[in-house]
Structure 1
Amino acid sequence: MIKLMLVDDHEVVRMGLVSLFELYPNFKVVGQASTEEEAVSKAMELKPDLIIMDVKLAILGQAKHNNGISACREIKEILPDTKIIMLSSFADDELIYESILAGASGYLLKGVDSKELITSIEKAAQGKAILDPDITDKVFKSMRKISKQHIILNELTNQEKEVLKLLSLGKSNKEIALEMVLSEKTIRNYVSQILAKLEVSNRFEAANYAVKNKLFDFDKDMS
């Protein structure tokens, strides 16, 4: 018997899930919640095997936030063995990564087929990671992109990283040399090495590559 808890700010969604799970004798819904606070409180009280958690929960008088993810993180800190599947209407990269980092066992879209949902719950209860088929390719592409970014950054020396960052902020070789207290000739050599490692033709392509692939936190550097 898998004890389930449902967390969604729409009662009709929760009731629909309850009706579905009543068709399966190996599932039992032991509790429901509609807010982050209620979810954490009831999880501590009921200690379910698995929680189906909406990513965005309403807060009275406010716009929806990603507090389902916050609830997931808090519950996993208290009940590390409880599995949590995030259920969302949004196939958003950031939400998926935040959910995984918060400790979720899976991320499914609300349009998921009922049989797929049941299978996913059974797999998650066994400790397996679950991703909606419609977002799996998207996630892996993003993961490969992130992996490539890490490889590139690891190939650059600390000095080259600093030169690339300043170059990407639109600074000239002279300005970079002054800031790093190095000669312009040294900076030119660094730029040549950076172009070779990034496999680009000029400094503008290098800057565009760094910005496009978010190699640095430029907002923080310019604040």
Structure 2
Amino acid sequence: MTEPGGAKASPIRVFLLDDHEVVRRGLRDLLDAEPDLTVVGDAADARQALARAPALRPDVAVLDVRLGSSTDSGDHEGIGVCRELRGALPGLACLILTSFDDDEALFDAIMAGAAGYVLKQIKGSDLVTAIRTVAAGQSMLDPGATARVLARVRGPVAPAGPPELARLSPRERQILDLIGEGLTNRQIADRLFLAEKTVKNRISAILTKLKVGRRIQAAVIAERVRDRERGPEPDREPEELPGG
């Protein structure tokens, strides 16, 4: 991999977390075969991952959702590792790798700051592409996944927005609302008659003030705030049964 000036770029440093040794070895062989990727370490459980990864300073962590022998659908230990590692290494991109298409895990992964979520059935070449994508600061969440996450937070009772919301200017609140509607930077710029670069800078400021690292996290907050301000649906009078 070569940078524009002709200098050779450093390979993307990858850390692996999976409780199956065969899977870890297979992933290492797959990734180390790529000239721009290098596996700097791996772990079989959460404790090992949290002890090893920070010192290795990876660019991307590929994390299995479920660790150990538990088959409980609520066992998302790998997502807890994502949250902890992102706290220690803010520049780290976490790619969640799982065998199960689980909406609850998807929601938890996004709120933990994961940059992507892929199934283990993914082709090797597509996984390599996903790692390069998140390493470049982009998201590996398709619009369908985003819609499912936003649907997950809709409900009759929504929690209040974070106190950091008060730090947003009126314009930033306006942009946050449009992020929650799923608009792109270009669409927001057109809607508000702003330069696209201005919108991008404003969104960076919004993420900083909300103390989140991902646009989708801001969208979830916007949806919760909208639900709170909208209030619960009014109760309907019960209909009488025929003959009542």
Does the pair score TM above 0.5?
A: yes
Q: Shorter chain as normaliser: what TM range?
A: 0.5 to 0.7
2:61 to 45, 48, 51: 51
1:100 to 94, 102, 110: 110
> Secondary structure of the residue that 2:38 maps to in structure 1?
strand
TM-score of the pair, normalised by structure 2:
0.58
Structure number having the greater helix percentage: 1
1:31 to 28, 41, 45: 41
Q: Give distance in 2, aligned partners of 1:16 and 1:115.
A: 13
Q: 1:1-223 to 2 correspondence within 5 Å?
A: 1-58=11-68, 65-131=75-141, 137-144=144-151, 146=153, 151=226, 154-156=229-231, 161=232, 194=234, 202-204=236-238
Contact 1:86 1:99 in 2 (8 A): yes
Bigger radius of gyration: 1
How far apart are 1:155 and its partner, in Å? 2.9
Contact 2:107 2:149 in 1 (8 A): no
Q: Which runs of 5+ in 2 are unaligned?
A: 1-10, 157-223, 240-244
* 1:155 partner letter: R
- Cα RMSD of the aligned pairs, angstroms, is 2.5
Q: Which runs of 5+ in 1 are unaligned?
A: 165-193, 196-201, 206-223
Question: Deviation above 3 Å: which 4+ runs of structure 1?
Answer: 144-153, 202-205
How far apart are 1:137 and its partner, in Å? 2.1
Deviations 1:113-153 (A, max 9, x none): 1121111111100111113x6xx525414525745865565
Q: Percent identity at matched positions? A: 33
* 1:154 partner letter: E
Tell me what 1:183 maps to: none
